Structure 1
Amino acid sequence: MDFEQDQTDASQFQQYKHKLEISYRKFLDYITPHIIPRWIATYIIIIIFMGRILVVEGWYIVCYTWAIFLLNMFLKFLTPKIDPSLEQDIQNDSVEAGTNKMDENDEDFKPFIRRLPEFRFWFKTTISTIVAIFCSLFSIFDIPVFWPILVAYFIILFFLTMRRQIQHMIKYRYLPFDLGKTKYGSK
């Protein structure tokens, strides 16, 4: 008798889990095209988190870890899916081997495809901010540190990585944004 009851409880749980997954997917599908409202909601969550950190004057390690994670995600967002430096090395090796002779003026159009798409970047940013807020509720994560050093280290890290990324973008002539590009379509 208990075995049959366990089976029905398990199947009811599976049904409930399946309905919850379907609802979650519907919600994600619904909000996908609404880029600006999604980011506004995320910025509000970020402001709440930063306000909490400033008001309680603690959880600087949580904030630092969150900021490093966001920097990592931002770099993936700016980086092309196929690294042009690796592609150029492959082309150079094939030209040296004599298998592929390309003229220097022969450049194919290659659209910019991000390593981390915008939706995934938004999703990971939102989830990481919610996790950081959750972690800031527990005193176990409030490790005492001298926060100005963390801020200075993050600023240095940010400028060094962004300088390297911008040099990479200039060297391989790609622009991860649609600024100044021709738009076609109806007026």
Structure 2
Amino acid sequence: MEAPDEQTTPFSSVTAQTNKLGRQYQALLDQSTPYVLYRWIGTGVGLLIFFARVFFAQGWYIVAYALGIYLLNLFLAFLQPKFDPSNDALDNDMEDGALGSLPTKQDEEFRPFIRRLPEFKFWHSATRAVTISFLCSWFEVFNVPVFWPVLVMYWFMLFILTMRKQIQHMIKYRYVPFSIGKARYTKNNA
């Protein structure tokens, strides 16, 4: 029995269209890469629209809570270095220490801060999550009745505790994930 050709399978046209849409979507993402501020403004507007939907509909609090936890998780991954210096003590398998780790002593070589979650992937995941949450807010099955002030209190407690831990980690291993005050060079300066 011979295997059917790709052109004769019943789903070849569907696969071709899916691949075409995937390429167009990737092209849009590639074009949006340099516009960091505009991308985040768009995501912020989408988040505000979602919160307005939740506020005026008086429901879908559990969806908003899940979105908040997911965004917090993304933010923490954005703040953390790709090569965590606290794992060096656990991973002493390498002879010279972990490659790519942050310097922890004054005389160590400088290594740039590399994020565990790059900004573009952070934005893309956050935008997808906001979009999915907004879509979920139109289906009654996701409108689980909960006492929303408790969820807000839980989220703030979670945020405070995790950020406290992250800030302590940043202080202990002396790294700053932001480049505030960094000198910017233009063509005229060079």
TM over 0.5: yes
Secondary structure of residue in 2 paired with 1:36: helix
By how many angstroms is 1:94 displaced?
A: 6.0
Q: Which residue of 2 aligns with 1:49?
A: 50
Q: Which residue of 1 aligns with 2:175?
A: 174
Q: Which residue of 1 aligns with 2:101?
A: none
Same amino acid, percent of matched pairs: 47
Q: Which residue of 2 aligns with 1:84?
A: 85
- The one-letter code of the counterpart of 2:118 is P
- Flag the structure with more relative contact order, 1 or 2, with Cα contacts below 8 A and sequence separation at least 6: 1
* Aligned-residue CA RMSD (Å): 2.4
Q: Does 1:138 align with 2:139?
A: yes
Larger Rg: 1
CA distance 1:160–1:27, change in 2 (3 Å): same
By how many angstroms is 1:32 displaced?
A: 1.0
- The one-letter code of the counterpart of 2:126 is T
Q: TM-score, normalised by structure 1?
A: 0.86
| 1:98-151 superposed Cα distances (whole Å, 9 cap, x missing partner) | xxxxxx543111100000000000001000001101111111111111111111
Whichever structure has more helix as a proportion of its residues is 1
Deviation beyond 4 Å, 4+ runs, structure 1? 88-91
By how many angstroms is 1:33 displaced?
A: 1.1
Q: In 2, Cα distance between the equivalents of 1:105 and 1:137?
A: 55
Across the two proteins, how many residue pairs are aligned to each other? Answer: 176
Contiguous gaps of at least 5 residues in structure 1: 96-103
Q: Which residue of 2 aligns with 1:152?
A: 153
- The one-letter code of the counterpart of 1:159 is I
